[in-house]
């Protein structure tokens, strides 16, 4: 007679799969937070990410030309999601707006300057 402990093997496999899923989910969550933090921090403090610096672009307050701060940078980032969810209309808006502001700029009272 051969006794099988298949139930225990299955439980071990399920536990391992659950562990891998949790690690993956945590990694994904950290990646999202770091990505959002990158944009928000650099837009809020200096107005430029590394790529924007290379292109000599800067996000500034539409009235004062100063950095927009972390709070408004977060609002600006959140509005980029709305721009995308609304069939990219918020992005297309830049082409027809007199001040070349997208919806994300209008809500955050920001503009992108070059130079």
pLDDT of residue 22 exceeding 80, the answer is yes
Give the chain as a DSSP string. Answer: -----HHHHHHHHHHHHHHHHHHHHHHHHHHHHHHHHHHHHHHHHTS--HHHHHTTEEEEETTT-S--HHHHHHHHHHHHHHHHHTTTHHHHHHHH-TT---HHHHHHTEEEEE-
Predicted confidence band at 1 (pLDDT cuts at 50, 70, 90)?
low
At residue 8, the pLDDT reads 72
At residue 31, the pLDDT reads 97
More confident position, 18 or 90: 90
At residue 11, the pLDDT reads 83
Predicted confidence band at 100 (pLDDT cuts at 50, 70, 90)?
very high
Predicted confidence band at 15 (pLDDT cuts at 50, 70, 90)?
confident
Q: What is the pLDDT of residues 38-92, one digit of tens each?
A: 999 999 999 999 999 999 999 999 999 999 999 999 999 999 999 999 999 999 9
């Amino acid at each position: 007679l051969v006794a099988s402990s298949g139930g225990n093997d299955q439980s071990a496999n399920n536990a391992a799969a659950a562990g891998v899923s949790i690690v993956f989910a945590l990694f994904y969550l950290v990646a999202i937070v770091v990505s959002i933090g990158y944009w928000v921090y650099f837009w809020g403090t200096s107005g430029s990410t590394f790529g924007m610096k290379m292109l000599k672009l800067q996000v500034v307050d539409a009235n004062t030309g100063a950095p927009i701060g972390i709070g408004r940078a977060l609002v600006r980032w959140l509005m980029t999601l709305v721009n995308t969810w609304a069939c990219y209309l918020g992005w297309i808006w830049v082409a027809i707006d007199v001040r070349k502001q997208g919806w994300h700029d209008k809500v955050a009272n920001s503009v992108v300057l070059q130079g």
